Amino acid sequence: MPDRGTGPAPDWDVIVVGAGPGGAAAAKRCAETGLRTLVLEKRAWPRDKVCSGMIMGPWAHDIIRDHFGAIPREVLASLPVLKGHFFHVPGAAPAVLEWPTPLAWRKNLDAWLLQKACAAGAEVRTQARVTQVESHGQIIRLTLNGPDGDEPLSARWVIGADGANSDIRKVLFPGLKTSYSTPIRECYPGSLRLDQNYFHWFFPKGRPRPRFNVNHKDGFFLIEGSGIRELRADISRILADHWFDPSQKPIWRDGCLIPKLHQNLIESWPRKESSRLPGQEGRPPVLIWNCCGRSWPRLPYSFSNRTPSPNPPPRLPWAVTSKTLTKKPCGFPEPISY
């Protein structure tokens, strides 16, 4: 599609920054409509991400089914579908929420989603970090930092899908102040004496937050939560009942920052168009999903009053197929098996 401005044509119609689910979905949609679409991802690919890997709620199921198709069996964990959630609250019997939820490692899920975007015609460059973005009338110019140094690129539209710590967002909102939570994930070999068909949430006494959770995947168990360092003693004590050995060391540990953003972004969004993007009066990049402060999918249940909402019960549209990941339009390595 030609640029309508008088200057030189941009390199791309759309540049999507970030190759997570938000970026893959945006890129696939743009490519399908015939737009020349490039995805830029700063990490080597496929990459894992701090995430429990549950594909949660009918909303996410519907989007994946309608826009990407059935999730191949290989993308899901060896136990492909959790039966639901277990809530362990001191002084009460564990509560169960039956909530069938497909389970994956994000490395595999995101690789599959991105392959679909590639199959639709999007191009991908990995180890390509966007460091700057500026609007110039009808063209948006950005700077990409890759193995060969800095490189300028231009597009008619830029979609910021670069996650909770979005660089695009920082460029657009340099003054945006936010606080962070710091979830940590620890992976241990083996299993605990907990029903592996369920995701387990623990609420240590006197500490509604932070709390932690445990889930099993492919021969490992993972302990996750915000503030699990502070909770170490509680975790050891509570999980000892489930055969956790506190002297056991995790085989790996990772973590991330989650900006508490949604409210801040909305509150700091200037109403006057002229003051919306300082120094960037032209076409602004679009922020999507975690990048714009949406971090969790919506669930059709309200936990506050413990009663089901009137939303419809979960559907199971993620029919698992035996299709293998042999198609590698982007030359990706096979997803790593754990």
Ligand X SMILES: Cc1cc2nc3c(=O)[nH]c(=O)nc-3n(C[C@H](O)[C@H](O)[C@H](O)COP(=O)(O)OP(=O)(O)OC[C@H]3O[C@@H](n4cnc5c(N)ncnc54)[C@H](O)[C@@H]3O)c2cc1C
Residues near ligand X (CB under 6 A): 17-23, 40-43, 47, 49-54, 56, 129-130, 161-163, 167, 183, 224, 256, 258, 289-291, 295-297
Nearer CB in complex with ligand X: 15/239: 15
Nearer CB in complex with ligand X: 153/238: 153
Nearer CB in complex with ligand X: 5/227: 227
* Shortest distance in whole angstroms from residue 309 CB to ligand X: 18
CB 250 within 8 A of CB 187: yes
CA gap 65, 43 in Å, rounded: 27
Instruction: Give φ, ψ of 31 to 5 degrees.
Output: -65, -40
CA gap 262, 269 in Å, rounded: 11
CA gap 251, 116 in Å, rounded: 32
* Shortest distance in whole angstroms from residue 293 CB to ligand X: 10
* Shortest distance in whole angstroms from residue 268 CB to ligand X: 20
Q: How far is CA 312 from the centre of its chain?
A: 25
Nearer CB in complex with ligand X: 57/204: 57
Alpha-helical runs (H) found in the chain: 21-32, 57-67, 106-119, 167-172, 232-240, 262-268
* Shortest distance in whole angstroms from residue 128 CB to ligand X: 6
Nearer CB in complex with ligand X: 53/58: 53
Q: Which single residue brings its beta carbon nearest to ligand X?
A: 20
Read off the tokens for 12. Answer: 């791309």
CA gap 142, 125 in Å, rounded: 14
Read off the tokens for 145. Answer: 């930092």
Cα dihedral angle (146, 149, 152, 158), rounded to 10 degrees? 30
* Shortest distance in whole angstroms from residue 152 CB to ligand X: 15
* Shortest distance in whole angstroms from residue 50 CB to ligand X: 5
Nearer CB in complex with ligand X: 1/257: 257
* Shortest distance in whole angstroms from residue 2 CB to ligand X: 27
Strands across the sheet containing 220-226: 95-104, 76-88, 198-202, 212-217, 220-226, 183-189, 252-255
The CA radius of gyration of the chain, in Å to the nearest whole number, is 22
- Point out which residues pair with 160 in neighbouring strands: 17, 287
Nearer CB in complex with ligand X: 94/227: 227
Read off the tokens for 55. Answer: 């594909």
